[in-house]
Chains A and B, each alone.
Chain A
């Protein structure tokens, strides 16, 4: 049974913070391809197009027949056939986290694999393998108990591969919105110690203010993503006291490119969502990075919520889609930077939101509750990309299959 995580004590100011080392990032293209799929929460292996055998670890050709390999979703059951405990390592991260248990797993899909072991897993057990990302964004197989065990998410080895909000302190950037409020509440329910809830205009009331600010654990803070000074001020106050940042800010207006769109709306959207994201990253990324291996309350993740139409454009929402595209692009670059420091960078993708700016869009639409659930799931699973609802899932699936076609479909 996993020992339940206990609320971390305040840090001894005389103890030097452990540097956030990550494993080497120089991997093959096929390993990077596996990581990209792992980041979306999939369990995939390479399967030979000729002999149909699955293989692991990643290769460029089938080890059985030299056929071509393609990535396919596979059953994730396995049996642990051997286990060992590493007690010495020259790896800069693992040497600080010893002992570390690993094992050999016989996958139902065929191959044998070296896997990280959950504390409730032992030799001979049937397990559920999860394809995770390590702190550097490399793919890794993690053996989970087949069935839920008490305090399973608290396993110290598992927490290295996730950004679970339990006992962590979170900054949610826009508490004035229904989305921000739903995310804040969900994070507290998931165990977050504190949610610092951003308010761009503390002198102006907002819907739901009294209820959300009365919840224990919610701490309102002044934060405007369009105001560099407010971010610098808040980062100065909270930089060392925040482990997760969730950016819920968005600005959506209807309009086309040549027809019916307002330049001022595009500028407002770009300033809030794109320049604002960069301001946020410049304010908080350095402090997060400095604390990515700071005990049970290590800094863990920066999460951004963006429209799936950033991948495709969207007729009638051209400016907002362009803004989302820029937002996703910045997130991709930031993900590469933060992989050097052990902080996860996550995108929650949404369909059209159930709000006043999508009144003309027929259902289904993405609700605040769905977004909140997706944020918590991404953190709990350590997932880089997650779809909040069925619309986003559908667009993403079509885009992965045929991006050019999907772009055309969404802009009719």
Chain B
């Protein structure tokens, strides 16, 4: 075998020196989708209709028709998802260069803060403090926001939709501006149902993560799981959305490559 970076990687994968962490929730009819005010179009949940299962409709084969929204389950947000990104070049999932789908991640752990306050807001000040302790966020990284929110999947506390709206953590405008313009992030990767905080529609400007990330050609990854299994630095995320013509996003399988044996 030739001695190349990829052959080394293959060996490391085979030996377990590099492990693959699945960051994807299972697509099932029960997985929650974002809920918008009733007068808007609603995100379709995942649905599956059996076509045949070794029966009269197909004696030797099993397959299903599936349906869902582009933003159902663990999914990718392309810049065209938001009005701020509507005029950018290559802003849909089919047009984004495939090179963009493999990128390293830095994990910002706010799980403690989110447990104490479901509305916890990630601010620029918090990030600057974080960098003092952990080092500068390198460019062209996914910002993986570890909240442990994935542990709430299957409970009402995941969407956490109360009478005054959803309550879940996310960044404020200052934090997103900092990550985009001063740290040149690839995008924001979260465990919650959206990159924005649950109450972000009330912020000024509203929904800053969607607005600023996509307005600057950055991506979103939502409904991730297992971010607590990743190191602060050093994980490589592979996130390839379906090549949907003109698509604003896509459900996808997200994996992370990490070095070192399992604990």
A-side interface residues toward B, CB under 8 Å? Answer: 201, 203-205, 224, 226-230, 262, 264-265, 268, 271, 356
Q: What residues of A have a CB within 8 angstroms of the CB of B49 in the complex?
A: 228
Shortest Cβ-Cβ A-B pairs, 3 listed: A227-B29, A203-B156, A264-B41
Would you give the 0/1 interface string for B29-63, flagging 1 where the beta carbon is closer than 8 Å to chain A? 10010010010011011011110000000000000
Kindly state whether residue B161 has any CB partner on chain A within 8 Å: yes
Minimum CB–CB distance for B9 against chain A, Å: 39
The docked-state distance in angstroms from the alpha carbon of A230 to that of B47 is: 11
Interface class of chain B by DSSP: loop
Kindly state whether residue B155 has any CB partner on chain A within 8 Å: yes
Q: Find out whether the CB atom of A203 lies under 8 angstroms from the CB atom of B48.
A: no
Would you give the 0/1 interface string for B145-168, flagging 1 where the beta carbon is closer than 8 Å to chain A? 000000000111011010000000
Q: Find out whether the CB atom of B156 lies under 8 angstroms from the CB atom of A268.
A: no
In the complex, which residues 79-122 of chain B have their Cβ closer than 8 Å to any Cβ of chain A?
none
Q: Find out whether the CB atom of A205 lies under 8 angstroms from the CB atom of B156.
A: yes
Choose one: A204, A226, A262, A356; the contact of B38 (CB below 8 Å): A356
Minimum CB–CB distance for B65 against chain A, Å: 11
In the complex, which residues 132-184 of chain B have their Cβ closer than 8 Å to any Cβ of chain A?
154-156, 158-159, 161
Q: What residues of A have a CB within 8 angstroms of the CB of B45 in the complex?
A: 226-227
Q: What residues of B have a CB within 8 angstroms of the CB of A230 in the complex?
A: 29
Q: What residues of A have a CB within 8 angstroms of the CB of B38 in the complex?
A: 356
Closest to B64 in A: A228
Q: What residues of B have a CB within 8 angstroms of the CB of A204 in the complex?
A: 32, 35, 156, 159, 161
Minimum CB–CB distance for A21 against chain B, Å: 29
Q: Which of A203, A224, A227, A356 has the most CB of B within 10 A?
A: A203
Residue contacts A-B, CB under 8 angstroms, 29 given: A201-B32, A203-B32, A203-B154, A203-B155, A203-B156, A203-B158, A203-B159, A204-B35, A204-B156, A204-B161, A205-B156, A205-B161, A224-B29, A226-B45, A226-B47, A227-B29, A227-B45, A227-B47, A228-B47, A228-B48, A228-B49, A228-B50, A229-B48, A230-B29, A262-B41, A264-B41, A265-B41, A268-B42, A271-B47
B residues contacting the other copy or chain, number (CB 8 A): 18
Q: How many A-B residue pairs have CB under 8 A?
A: 34
Q: What residues of A have a CB within 8 angstroms of the CB of B156 in the complex?
A: 203-205
The docked-state distance in angstroms from the alpha carbon of A258 to that of B38 is: 23
The docked-state distance in angstroms from the alpha carbon of A227 to that of B44 is: 12
The docked-state distance in angstroms from the alpha carbon of A203 to that of B45 is: 14
Minimum CB–CB distance for B122 against chain A, Å: 26
Q: What residues of B have a CB within 8 angstroms of the CB of A205 in the complex?
A: 156, 161
Closest to A279 in B: B49
Minimum CB–CB distance for B63 against chain A, Å: 15
Knowing that A203-B159, A226-B45 touch, tell me 16 more A-B residue pairs with CB under 8 angstroms.
A201-B32, A203-B32, A203-B155, A203-B156, A203-B158, A204-B32, A204-B159, A204-B161, A205-B156, A224-B29, A227-B29, A227-B45, A229-B48, A262-B41, A264-B41, A356-B38
Q: What residues of B have a CB within 8 angstroms of the CB of A226 in the complex?
A: 45, 47
Minimum CB–CB distance for A378 against chain B, Å: 30
Minimum CB–CB distance for A228 against chain B, Å: 6
The docked-state distance in angstroms from the alpha carbon of A12 to that of B244 is: 58
The docked-state distance in angstroms from the alpha carbon of A204 to that of B50 is: 27
Q: What residues of B have a CB within 8 angstroms of the CB of A356 in the complex?
A: 38
Q: Find out whether the CB atom of B29 lies under 8 angstroms from the CB atom of A229.
A: yes
Closest to B35 in A: A204
Q: What residues of A have a CB within 8 angstroms of the CB of B155 in the complex?
A: 203
Closest to A356 in B: B38
Q: What residues of A have a CB within 8 angstroms of the CB of B161 in the complex?
A: 204-205
Minimum CB–CB distance for B246 against chain A, Å: 16
Minimum CB–CB distance for B37 against chain A, Å: 11
Minimum CB–CB distance for B198 against chain A, Å: 14
Q: What residues of B have a CB within 8 angstroms of the CB of A265 in the complex?
A: 41
Q: What residues of B have a CB within 8 angstroms of the CB of A201 in the complex?
A: 32
The docked-state distance in angstroms from the alpha carbon of A226 to that of B45 is: 9
The docked-state distance in angstroms from the alpha carbon of A203 to that of B152 is: 11
The docked-state distance in angstroms from the alpha carbon of A224 to that of B31 is: 13
The docked-state distance in angstroms from the alpha carbon of A204 to that of B158 is: 10
The docked-state distance in angstroms from the alpha carbon of A205 to that of B156 is: 8
Minimum CB–CB distance for B163 against chain A, Å: 9
Minimum CB–CB distance for A234 against chain B, Å: 13
Q: What residues of A have a CB within 8 angstroms of the CB of B159 in the complex?
A: 203-204
Minimum CB–CB distance for B53 against chain A, Å: 12
